[in-house]
Amino acid sequence: MSADLVALAYLVASVFFILALKGLSSPLSARRGNLFGMLGMAIAVVTTLTITENWMLILGCILVGGSIGAIVAKRVQMTAMPELVAFMHSLVGLAAVFIAIAAVNNPVSFGLPAVLPMGSKLELFLGTFIGAMTWSGSVIAFMKLSGRMSGAPVVFGGQHLLNLVLAIVMIGFGLWFFFSDTTHWTAFIVMTSIAFILGFLIIIPIGGADMPVVISMLNSYSGWAAAGIGFSLGNPMLIIAGSLVGSSGAILSYIMCKAMNRPFLSVILGGFGNDGGDVSADDGAQKTHRSGSAEDAAFLLGNADTVVIVPGYGLAVARAQHAVKELTEVLLEQGVNVRFAIHPVAGRMPGHMNVLLAEAEIPYEQVLEMDEINSDFSNTDVVLVLGANDVVNPAAYTKGSPIYGMPILDTHKAGTVMVVKRSMAAGYAGLDNELFYMNKTMMVFGDAKKVVEHMVKAL
């Protein structure tokens, strides 16, 4: 292909990527958005294969990597999707580092001058250190989410000072690499090594409850790493695709920080895992709760005019979405108005609950975001909370609470609240939930899927 045709093909692929993001902005068009994304990637890959002499080697690597990815994606449970996404981010960052190493080692093969110009060195420096931090940070996120590492923040004295010193040293070696007349491998290797270490140190102090924000943030980092390498390679499609990922990830991180009442700057710098108030939501006093059976819950649901269902991570673990769909259909047949309330950070990643409900073919018009439904809870007869915890905790309105100021679903304002949980254990943030001890609340203990199935039979 001529250079003009290659540029045109990459431009078309980039347009498809933009259309993919547009499609993914709504559940109604998400399937089409995914198709646009796959078509754009197919065009980009085919174009790349036509301009390289090593197309057989590249195609073989794609087949191997694609086969592994297909097998892993097919086997992974929805509950494990967040850690899979974190692991994929790590590979994007590592790929950027490997490309940078190859470009520094043999710039001519990438269409660069034998002696790297300062502009290319700057691009490689940015792509390398962002990619290295993305890889190591994503590995920590993967380990915390998968249970291979404690979700508790890992903190020690002088942690932020150490991070600052390492960052300054990394930038110093980066400047050495940047201003050297020849390729200085010592500066490049030390700079890259420190970046790997910084990735670990920035993520370990972040608590497990904040991992959804970390995933989004690392997604943004991986995009900027790809864009930086795209400048080095003179590849406009890689620049555009990386910028799309980087900017959309940053915007999503900001939205999630707002939903969790977290400072965005603190997220970017890392180490906000133990931010918040200095007063625990649990004062240690003996508390009593009211519990009931699935049959009791079914009776209350069947006699209600309006019901709001709040799905959470417990629903995902139990894979109860199809049972919930059946429950919804039974209630609708009995004239009950049923809707779903979704918190922006419900589950372990943005959109987690939306995907589960869509998988069960629950109509999109029944699924409402927090801002759309929060004002309706005071007029709701019954709220059914399925495995959610922190996103419905009224402690968010208590000054001194670690989650003070975090926007929540105001389920405590409903006439009756029913909470399905396996036990009274605290949520991911490690806080006791005041909602569970209110007089209007009835706890229904058990696996969410089995409990909902019993409700359906009773109805």
pLDDT tens, position by position, 248-266: 888 888 887 777 777 777 6
Contact 424, 289 (CB under 8 A): yes
Contact 416, 308 (CB under 8 A): no
* Local structure of 310: helix, strand or coil: strand
296 has catalytic annotation: no
Tell me the average pLDDT across 14-31. 88
Contact 352, 387 (CB under 8 A): no
Q: How far apart are CA 355 and CA 350, in angstroms?
A: 10
Residue 267 confidence (pLDDT): 60
The tokens describing 364, both together, are 């999109």
Q: What does the mean pLDDT of the chain come to?
A: 85
Q: Which residues are registered as beta bridge partners of 382?
A: 307, 416
What confidence tens digit (pLDDT) does each residue in 218-258 have? 888 888 888 888 887 888 888 998 999 899 888 888 887 77
With pLDDT > 90 as the criterion, what percentage of the chain qualifies? 37
Q: How far apart are CA 331 and CA 327, in angstroms?
A: 6
**In the β-sheet with 367-369, what is the strand arrangement from edge to edge?**
367-369, 337-342, 306-311, 382-386, 416-421, 441-445
How many other C-beta atoms lie within 10 A of the C-beta of residue 123? 22
How many other C-beta atoms lie within 10 A of the C-beta of residue 410? 21
Angle at which helices 211-233 and 236-260 cross, to 10°: 160
Within the chain, what is the greatest distance between any pair of CA atoms? 80
Reported confidence tier of residue 171, pLDDT bands at 50, 70, 90: very high
221-to-82, 273, 325, 426 alpha-carbon distances in Å: 16, 19, 37, 32
- DSSP code for 114: S
Nearest to 253 by CA among 208, 207, 217, 211: 217
Contact 227, 123 (CB under 8 A): no
301-to-171, 233, 298, 381 alpha-carbon distances in Å: 61, 60, 5, 9
What confidence tens digit (pLDDT) does each residue in 296-324 have? 999 999 999 999 999 988 888 888 999 99
Q: Which of 390, 410, 432, 447 is catalytic?
A: 390
Q: Which residues are registered as beta bridge partners of 338?
A: 307
Residue 83 confidence (pLDDT): 81
Contacts of 398 (CB under 8 A, 6+ apart): 281, 404
Residue 416 confidence (pLDDT): 94
444 has a pLDDT exceeding 80: yes
Contact 459, 334 (CB under 8 A): yes
- DSSP code for 155: -
Q: How far apart are CA 49 and CA 451, in angstroms?
A: 53
Residue 273 confidence (pLDDT): 42
The residue that leads in pLDDT, 393 or 83, is 393
